[in-house]
Amino acid sequence: MMRVAVLLSFCAAAAAQVPKTWDEKALKDWATPLAGLGVRPGHYAEAEYYKAPVDNLRTYPVYYPGREPDGYWEMLARVGPKPLIERDKIKSEADWVAAGKRVFEELDIIMFRSYDPKLIATAQSREYYEKAKVRPRPDGTVPGLRWVPTDKGVALSLDNCAGCHTRRLEDGSILRGAPGNESIGPLVGALAIAGASPIPLPGDSPGMMLWRGSTVPWIKDDLHESIRTMTPEDLRELGRGAFATGIFPRWNGSPFHPNKIPDLIGIKDRKYIDHTATQRHRGPGDIMRYAALVSYADVSDFGSHRILTDAQRRIYGRSLDEGLYALTMYLYSLEPPPNPNKFDTKAGAGQKMFRQAGCAGCHTPPLYTNNKLTLATGFTPPKEHFKFLDIMPMSVGTDPQLALQTRKGTGYYKVPSLKGLWYRSRLLHDGSLTRLEELFNPDRLGDDFVPSGFIGFKLKARAIRGHEFGLKLAPEEREQLIAFLRTL
Task: Point out which residues bind ligand HEC (CB under 6 A).
Answer: 160-161, 163-165, 248, 250, 253, 259, 261-262, 264, 267, 270, 273-276, 287, 290-291, 294-295, 327, 354, 357-359, 361-363, 374, 396, 398, 408, 413, 415-416, 418, 421, 427-429, 439, 467, 469-470, 481
The secondary element (H helix, E strand) that includes residue 210 is: helix 206-214
Q: Which of 66, 90, 487 is nearest to 321 (CA)?
A: 90
The answer to whether 285 and 279 have CB atoms below 8 angstroms apart is no
CA angle 258, 44, 115 (to 5 degrees): 70
What is the nearest approach in angstroms of ligand HEC to the Cβ of residue 334?
11
Closest to ligand HEC by CB, 69 vs 169, is 169
What is the nearest approach in angstroms of ligand HEC to the Cβ of residue 126?
26
Q: How far apart are CA 422 and CA 342, in angstroms?
A: 11
How far from 445 is each of 72, 315, 452, 467, CA to CA, in Å? 54, 45, 14, 10
Q: How far apart are CA 143 and CA 162, in angstroms?
A: 9
> Which residues contact residue 386 at a Cβ distance below 8 angstroms, ignoring those fewer than 6 apart?
none
**Beta strand segments in 111-226, E:** 141-150, 153-158, 166-168, 174-176
Q: How far apart are CA 406 and CA 408, in angstroms?
A: 5
Q: How far apart are CA 207 and CA 231, in angstroms?
A: 9
Which amino acid would we find at residue 236? R
Q: How far apart are CA 332 and CA 269, in angstroms?
A: 9
Q: How far apart are CA 55 and CA 84, in angstroms?
A: 9
The answer to whether 146 and 104 have CB atoms below 8 angstroms apart is no
Q: How far apart are CA 364 and CA 348, in angstroms?
A: 17
Q: How far apart are CA 272 and CA 266, in angstroms?
A: 12
Q: How far apart are CA 261 and CA 177, in angstroms?
A: 10
What is the nearest approach in angstroms of ligand HEC to the Cβ of residue 164?
3
Q: What share of the chain is helix, strand, coil (3-state, %, to 5)?
A: 35, 10, 55
Q: Which of 176, 116, 142, 121 is nearest to 61 (CA)?
A: 142
Residue 54: how many other CB atoms lie within 10 Å: 12
What are the beta bridge partners of residue 354?
none
What is the nearest approach in angstroms of ligand HEC to the Cβ of residue 66?
28
